[in-house]
């Protein structure tokens, strides 16, 4: 059975190395990580700032998504974190770490977790561009 070592929605800085260390296991031959960084551009526009807003249920939803997705794969441990609030360019906004006995399961689980969280977590991205325009992403 998979162990969820961390599943947090946080305002704190996310460190992918710390997440990877949380999921280390001597029985595992694979650790796969994903680190989503705030970039300085989007759709050929320069980004001045980025802020994530969350629904009050985001923490519970992230834990449920993580558990349900991870159970579909042969993985041992998972750690996942999504940041909210204003996040400086170059910092991590979203990160996943997965350990498994074999690399195939670890890669598949990590990819599935990233995709499901991006699809189902109630979180919205507000980007302000250097030209003064702005954009909300993942809103109805």
Rounded to whole angstroms, the Cα distance separating 127 from 110 reads 26
What tens digit of pLDDT does each residue of 80-117 get? 999 999 999 999 999 999 999 999 999 999 999 999 99
Q: In terms of DSSP H, where are the helices of the chain?
A: 16-22, 58-70, 103-120
Rounded to whole angstroms, the Cα distance separating 29 from 51 reads 37
Positive or negative, the CA dihedral 63, 16, 70, 26 is negative
Rounded to whole angstroms, the Cα distance separating 131 from 140 reads 24
More confident residue, 139 or 125: 125
pTM (predicted TM-score): 0.95
What is the pLDDT at residue 138?
78
User: How much is the average pLDDT of 112-138?
Assistant: 96
Domains located in the chain, CATH noted = 3-137 (3.90.1170.40)
């Amino acid at each position: 059975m998979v162990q969820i070592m961390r599943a947090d929605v946080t305002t704190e800085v996310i460190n992918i190395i710390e997440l990877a260390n949380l999921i280390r296991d001597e029985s595992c031959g694979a650790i796969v990580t994903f680190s989503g960084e705030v970039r300085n551009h989007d759709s050929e526009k320069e980004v001045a700032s980025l802020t994530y807003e969350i629904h009050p249920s985001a923490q519970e939803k992230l834990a449920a998504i993580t558990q349900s997705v991870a159970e579909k794969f042969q993985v041992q441990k998972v750690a996942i974190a999504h940041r909210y609030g204003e996040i400086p360019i170059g910092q991590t906004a979203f990160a996943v770490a997965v350990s498994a006995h074999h690399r195939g399961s670890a890669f598949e689980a990590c990819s599935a977790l990233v995709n499901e969280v991006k699809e189902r977590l109630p979180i919205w991205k507000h980007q302000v561009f250097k030209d003064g325009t702005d954009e909300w992403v993942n809103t109805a």
